[in-house]
Structure 1
Amino acid sequence: MDGLLLGQVEAVELDLAANPYPDLVRAHAYWLAKRQDRLAPRRRDLDPVDLVEVLPRIMLVNVEREPLDFRYRLSGTGIGEMHGSDLTGTRPRDLRPPAYGRLIDSHYRAAVARRTPLLHLIVLDTTDRAHAYVRLLLPISEDGVEVTMLMSIDGKDQNKLPLRRFFETLTSRR
């Protein structure tokens, strides 16, 4: 895959109620407060000023219909640094390696279908070491019926340098 000795790309869904990541617990609590009694908050309910702690690690993902697809509307600076480029305007299936893009796309599809927040531990396994990070997906709904956008937040506590090197290696092989 892409000339990199990649073993597997996999994820484990974590129990949101047992979330041990304080920054993601706070982001989820903020989302719950803004949601109120609706399916999910609207985009205009979320104020970037309230999310300063996680802002560099946020992606806003537009949900496109017929056929269902996703496009990054906004990619935080921390995400861009990790991947070696700004992902705004791209789709999860554009991510490399392709197995990683398919995994992320499947998580987005699950969040839209289940209409609920999801927490995943994502593992990118190479022949010499595994790289992992945690990501929270939060639905956004403009109409209160369908998920129209997703807010993705990477956890603060991740091994940034090895992950950055992993994605840099993939970027240099394009």
Structure 2
Amino acid sequence: MAISEADFAHVEDDRFRRLVSYWLAARSGRPVPSVDAIDPSQFRQILEQVWLCDVEENPRAYRYRLAGDHIRAAYSVPLVGRTLAELTEPEVAKRVLGYFDRVVDGPTVVHIVGRIYTEEVRPARGERLILPFADPRTGRIARILGATVHSWESRGIGPGDVPIRQVRTFTPVDGNPSWCENWL
């Protein structure tokens, strides 16, 4: 069974819902869109919040190709050209790699809401969406496109209490049931 917009009713931010709509349409009958379908003109309203990683294999790594202004504001160093493991502490990288790997291996769409940037001295309230894109020749997931909004910036989700946990929703692209996990 194919997934549809109804499978993403839990997504809160309207910009993320539009990004999901774009991703679903870009699949063109395939389970996952091709990397060739990544067209920033189709999600202009969220470019500041978007990040894009190449998926490297043997060993697996996630190398940032693009990071919008809203994303760069959350880091003290440039992201582009660096891997997730280079940018974060090993314990944090292990947690984040866990859900990045699910995006690739499932493939699965991951949605996170609640406490984000939990490893920071000052965590944020936010929402994150991670979408897989495939190599058109091999079908292997070659890139992940993500979007993150956080409470540190006015163009994010605005002020409010930072939750004590995050809720992660995993939506397999093959239409199998979604599942959630809470992380403290």
TM-score norm. by structure 2 comes to 0.69
Identity of aligned residues (%): 23
Match of 2:110 among 87, 105, 118: 118
Q: 1:125, CA displacement in angstroms?
A: 6.3
Cα RMSD (Å):
2.5
Contact 1:63 1:69 in 2 (8 A): yes
| Counterpart residue type for residue 106 of structure 1 | G
Q: How many residue pairs end up in the alignment?
A: 146
Contact 1:61 1:71 in 2 (8 A): yes
TM-score norm. by structure 1 comes to 0.73
Contact 2:110 2:130 in 1 (8 A): yes
Structure 2 match to 1:136 = 129
Structure 1 match to 2:23 = 31
Q: 1:105, CA displacement in angstroms?
A: 1.6
| Counterpart residue type for residue 55 of structure 2 | V
Q: 1:83, CA displacement in angstroms?
A: 1.0
Distance in 1 (alpha carbons) for counterparts of 2:13 and 2:69: 21
Task: Determine helix, strand or coil for the equivalent of 2:73.
Answer: helix
Moved over 4 A (4+): none
The structure richer in helix per residue is: 1
| Stretches of structure 1 lacking an aligned partner (at least 5 in a row) | 1-14, 164-174
Q: 1:108, CA displacement in angstroms?
A: 1.0
Greater relative contact order, per chain length (Cα 8 Å cut-off, separation 6+): 1
Match of 1:84 among 76, 96, 119: 76
2:148 pairs with 1:154: yes
Distance in 2 (alpha carbons) for counterparts of 1:109 and 1:18: 22
